[in-house]
Amino acid sequence: MTEVKKKKSYRRGYSIALLVGFENDHAALWQVFSYVVKLHITLKLVGKRTDEKALYNFHESVVDALRPMLEEGIKSTIVTAPMKTTYAADFLNHVRKHHSYLMQSKSQNRAAFAILIGSADQPQKVTELVKTKEFHEIIAATTSQEADHTINILEKYLYSIDSNHVALFSLREIEDRVYDRERSNDFQTEYLMLTDKYLADSEDKNRIHRLLQISQNRKVRARIVNAETPTGKRISQFGGIVFFIIPTK
């Protein structure tokens, strides 16, 4: 009997960041997951960079492509461009001027942007880029900024007298909530935060990775936070993991 080989399961993992690679005449948008990096879309610059209207429309197309993913909770955004170019800085200046809410510290929709020198328009180049020390340092920094903003939302939430608020601190309760197919997240934003130490010390990491994957599929804003940061230490006080819901205004 011929043995049928099983296909290896495709592991994408949970979202870590967005990566925007600018080149002279196009931009490549990538989703960075814990296991893979996936191309989302490539956008062309119609016209020349010296044409202000063409460059404006190009930058707007990039923002339009980023917006749905940012609204899903992927806030860490790394913008790259080749050395000796201003492509990345030009884009962030556009965001600062025309979409300032994405950079306002008190905005619930704010994103954490960072610039990294390098090319990110081809899979091989991106693979090399995400392995660099600089990339991981930027990811840590932007994720920390994002987490600090989210924990501030949690602190206000915990001190609210609204009886409709939900905050869960045990893995089992959080799983029951996230896996509940009858639940609805209309008109509310769900957050799941845990520390890297909580994940590292877990005796069932597959269980937590599954929770992170399904959370993302169900539009929960899930993040792993460095336990040594102020936000990480605060989450550790809750046991290392917390899930909470904020009504959408």
Other CB atoms within a 10 A radius of the CB of residue 237 amount to 9
Residue 147 has pLDDT above 50, yes or no: yes
- Pair (30, 119) in one structural domain: yes
pTM of the model: 0.68
Mean pLDDT, range 189-198, rounded to an integer: 88
Confidence category of residue 45, pLDDT binned at 50, 70, 90? very high
- Of the candidates 85, 31, 32, 97, the residue with the CA atom closest to the CA atom of residue 59: 97
> What is the structure's pLDDT at 81?
95
Domain boundary residue among 77, 105, 131?
A: 131
- Pair (24, 91) in one structural domain: yes
Is residue 142 included in any domain, yes or no? no
> What is the structure's pLDDT at 159?
67
Cα angle 35, 37, 40 (rounded to 5 degrees) comes to 140
- Pair (75, 169) in one structural domain: no
Q: Which residue has the higher pLDDT, 34 or 211?
A: 211
- The CATH number given to whatever domain includes residue 81 is 3.30.420.60
Confidence category of residue 137, pLDDT binned at 50, 70, 90? confident
Domain boundary residue among 101, 131, 161?
A: 131
Is residue 77 included in any domain, yes or no? yes
Is residue 8 included in any domain, yes or no? no
- Pair (170, 72) in one structural domain: no
Domain boundaries, position 240: 149-247
Is residue 2 included in any domain, yes or no? no
- Pair (25, 104) in one structural domain: yes
- Pair (104, 172) in one structural domain: no
- Of the candidates 104, 35, 21, 106, the residue with the CA atom closest to the CA atom of residue 66: 21
Confidence category of residue 230, pLDDT binned at 50, 70, 90? confident
- Pair (21, 119) in one structural domain: yes
- Pair (190, 236) in one structural domain: yes
Residue 3 has pLDDT above 50, yes or no: no
Is residue 42 included in any domain, yes or no? yes
Rg (CA), the chain: 20
Mean pLDDT, range 28-38, rounded to an integer: 87
- Pair (116, 44) in one structural domain: yes
- Pair (27, 127) in one structural domain: yes
* Number of domains present in the structure of the chain: 2
Segment 78-128, tens digit of pLDDT: 999 999 999 999 999 999 999 988 887 555 667 889 899 999 989 989 988
Residue 22 has pLDDT above 80, yes or no: yes
> What is the structure's pLDDT at 51?
96
- The CATH number given to whatever domain includes residue 197 is 3.30.1330.30
Residue 141 has pLDDT above 90, yes or no: no
**Which residues are CB-contacts of 77 (< 8 A; sequence separation ≥ 6)?**
17, 18, 19, 20, 66, 70, 111, 112, 113, 114, 142
> What is the structure's pLDDT at 105?
58
Rounded to 5 degrees, φ, ψ at 104 are -75, 130
> What is the structure's pLDDT at 1?
40
